[in-house]
């Protein structure tokens, strides 16, 4: 079955601390994975996609096919990073989303 | 470019009624997808339209239907509303990418439907 799992509903860190939001997926083919972010009162927007291998707003994510993971990382969290983060898998013409992780960065 | 526009933003309906939600994609985007977002189930795919044809469909009952017009605008209809249909309905459009199914989605702000 195609599935995306984000084990943490809420992740709370202090400003300047490292952040890792976990994402595991289940997919038999070659996965295409994304991280979407939703800031307060804003629309859901693409943060990054694994095929581009870029860093956006200091965030990176590496696809680990052996562990079927696509964790999102940032070395130093900022208060403006506080938001809902969704990991998503593109499969069968649709996006399959995880349940989301709320990141709270405290001053 | 204007973003994906969904109307109305908020809607309150009574059980048994039907509702139509509208989505205008980003200019040039021909693929439009619909998602339902609820606290319990999260974001779930409803269907996708491309060039006025339904290309993919999620696991929702037949009460949920949609269509796409020649200008790529899309509508979603829910008939015989149930309390459980209360949700945020998100529309997303994707740009065309030659040679492959495009996967990057740009989302609208959603329509908040409340069924009472």
pLDDT tens-place string over residues A59-106: 999 899 899 999 999 999 999 999 999 999 998 888 999 999 999 999
Does residue B102 surpass a pLDDT of 90? no
Apex CA B91: angle with CA B85 and CA B92, to 5°? 145
Q: Which residue has the higher pLDDT, B75 or B99?
A: B75
Instruction: Return the residue of A nearest to B39 by Cα.
Output: A99
The mean per-residue pLDDT over the stretch B60-78 comes to 97
B92 CB neighbours in chain A (<8 A) are 95
d(CA B104, CA B98): 13
Cβ contact A44–B90 (<8 Å): yes
Per-residue pLDDT at A88: 95
Does residue A32 surpass a pLDDT of 60? yes
Q: Compute chain A's Rg from CA coordinates.
A: 13
Q: Compute chain B's Rg from CA coordinates.
A: 14
Does residue B60 surpass a pLDDT of 70? yes
Of B39, B40, B42, nearest in space to A88 by CA: B42
Torsion region of A98: left, alpha or beta (phi above 0 gives left; psi -120 to 50 gives alpha): beta
CB B91 within 8 A of CB B34: yes
Does residue B98 surpass a pLDDT of 80? no
Torsion region of A6: left, alpha or beta (phi above 0 gives left; psi -120 to 50 gives alpha): beta
The total of other beta-carbon atoms located within 10 Å of residue B79's CB is: 14
Identify the residue among B43, B95, B100, B102 best suited for mutation to test binding to A, counting A beta carbons within 10 A and taking the highest: B43
Strand-strand pairing, B31-38 and B42-50: antiparallel
Per-residue pLDDT at B101: 56
Per-residue pLDDT at A51: 75
Per-residue pLDDT at B53: 94
The mean per-residue pLDDT over the stretch A51-65 comes to 86
Instruction: Return the residue of A nearest to B42 by Cα.
Output: A99
């Amino acid at each position: 079955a195609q599935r995306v799992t984000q084990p943490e509903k809420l992740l709370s860190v202090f400003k300047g601390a490292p952040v890792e939001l976990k994402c595991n997926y289940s997919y038999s083919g070659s996965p295409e994975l994304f991280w979407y972010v939703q800031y307060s009162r804003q629309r859901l927007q693409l943060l990054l996609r694994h095929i581009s291998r870029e860093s956006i707003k200091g965030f990176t994510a590496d696809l680990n096919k052996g562990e079927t993971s696509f964790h999102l990382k940032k070395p130093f969290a900022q208060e403006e990073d506080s938001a809902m983060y969704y990991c998503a898998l593109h499969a069968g013409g649709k996006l399959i989303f995880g349940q989301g992780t709320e990141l709270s960065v405290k001053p | 470019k204007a973003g994906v526009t969904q109307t109305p933003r908020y809607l309150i309906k009574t059980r048994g009624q039907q509702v139509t939600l509208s989505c205008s994609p980003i200019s040039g985007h021909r693929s439009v997808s619909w998602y339902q977002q609820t606290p319990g189930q999260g974001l779930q795919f409803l269907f996708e339209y491309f060039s006025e044809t339904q290309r993919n469909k999620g696991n929702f009952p037949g009460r949920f239907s949609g269509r796409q017009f020649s200008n790529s605008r899309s509508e979603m209809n829910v008939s015989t509303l149930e309390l459980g249909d209360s949700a945020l309905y998100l529309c997303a459009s994707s740009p065309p990418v030659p040679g492959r199914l495009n996967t990057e989605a740009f989302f609208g702000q959603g329509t908040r439907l409340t069924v009472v």
